[in-house]
């Protein structure tokens, strides 16, 4: 893991050469949610190509830029495009940006994603505040981790991965802004295929409310690093096994874009008030 420590330090140094401030929060934007950066006072925009060890974002609608600036007057680092297991990247690569954010001084991590709704009370366009998750990727980004001096505790507690204070604050903001929201459990799958009817039934039976292909690896590393985490999932399609239609990637992107203004209001106010 000494290699990973070096990669974190060198990547953080590359960011500091372009933007030498201490962010309060890091933000990871999911599918179709890139326009959240429209509300940021941008001070630096760094292409992933210009950051050592950063992979390339190949998912549709993921721009591949690190945006540095202010959101609601607060210094933030925003990933305009994330990395996924289905792109062929290792979990070290997927979670490297979280370690870099922590190295640069971030205290909070806000993560967004697009998901399929399995809870029959959810509708396309709803926001779900993640209060827990189930890792069905069958692997952890902490496997092989030994460098406790540099990369924090090897066995982090996961009894409360999503910060309860931030959850309460996000719920308060959503109510104030008259935004329909839920609190529930996100199931992480490796993708890139969508699930079968039988898989949706199984995931619902074990406690999942929505299902997606990201977020959990970053959250595990964030908790290892001691970051407070808020995660918001935009329900982009409904996954009821007995009424299951075909879903295309553009359906997901368009639904996420339509819901983005609601997400933007929640994220901006939570970061400002946290």
Residue 203 has pLDDT above 90, yes or no: yes
pTM of the model: 0.93
Q: Read off the tokens for 112.
A: 């967004």
Query: What are the φ and ψ backbone dihedral angles of 27, each rounded to 5 degrees?
Result: -130, 130
Q: Please classify residue 157 by burial: count the beta carbons closer than 10 Å to its beta carbon, then call 0-12 exposed, 13-18 middle and 19+ buried.
A: exposed
Query: What are the φ and ψ backbone dihedral angles of 40, each rounded to 5 degrees?
Result: -105, 135
Q: Encode pLDDT of 9-46 as tens digits.
A: 999 999 999 999 999 999 999 865 666 777 889 999 99
- As a whole-number percent, the residues of the chain with pLDDT over 90 amount to 72
Residue carrying the six token digits 């490796």: 190
Contact 98, 223 (CB under 8 A): no
- Give me the domains of the chain, ranges plus CATH numbers: 2-273 (3.40.50.1580)
Contact 212, 87 (CB under 8 A): no
Residue 214 has pLDDT above 70, yes or no: yes
> The dihedral of CA 169, 229, 185, 242: what is its sign?
positive
pLDDT value, residue 253: 74
pLDDT value, residue 57: 77
Q: What is the mean pLDDT of residues 233-251?
A: 79
Measure the CA–CA gap between 221 and 49, rounded to whole angstroms: 23
pLDDT value, residue 261: 87
């Amino acid at each position: 893991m000494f290699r990973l420590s070096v990669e974190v330090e060198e990547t953080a140094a590359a960011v500091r050469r372009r933007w030498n401030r201490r962010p309060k929060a890091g933000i990871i934007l999911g599918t179709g949610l890139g326009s959240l950066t429209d509300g940021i006072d941008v001070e630096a925009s760094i292409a992933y190509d210009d950051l050592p060890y950063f992979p390339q974002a190949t998912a549709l609608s993921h721009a591949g830029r690190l945006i540095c600036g202010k959101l609601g007057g607060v210094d933030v680092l925003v990933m305009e495009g994330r990395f996924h297991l289905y792109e062929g990247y290792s979990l070290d690569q997927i979670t490297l940006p979280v370690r870099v954010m922590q190295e640069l001084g971030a205290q909070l991590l806000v993560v967004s994603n697009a998901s399929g709704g399995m809870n029959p009370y959810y509708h396309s366009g709803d926001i779900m505040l993640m209060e827990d998750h189930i890792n069905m990727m069958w692997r952890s980004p902490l496997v092989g981790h030994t460098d406790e001096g540099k990369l924090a505790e090897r066995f982090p507690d996961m009894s409360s991965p999503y910060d309860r204070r931030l959850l309460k604050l996000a719920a308060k903001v959503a109510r104030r802004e008259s935004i329909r929201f839920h609190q529930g459990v996100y199931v992480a799958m490796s993708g890139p295929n969508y699930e079968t009817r039988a898989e949706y039934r199984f995931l619902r039976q074990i406690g999942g409310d929505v299902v997606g292909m990201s977020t959990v690896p970053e959250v595990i590393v964030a908790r290892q690093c001691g970051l407070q985490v808020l995660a918001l999932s935009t329900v982009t399609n409904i996954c009821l096994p007995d009424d299951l239609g075909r879903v295309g990637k553009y359906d997901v992107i368009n639904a996420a874009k339509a819901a983005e203004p609601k997400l933007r209001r929640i994220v901006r106010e939570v970061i400002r008030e946290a």
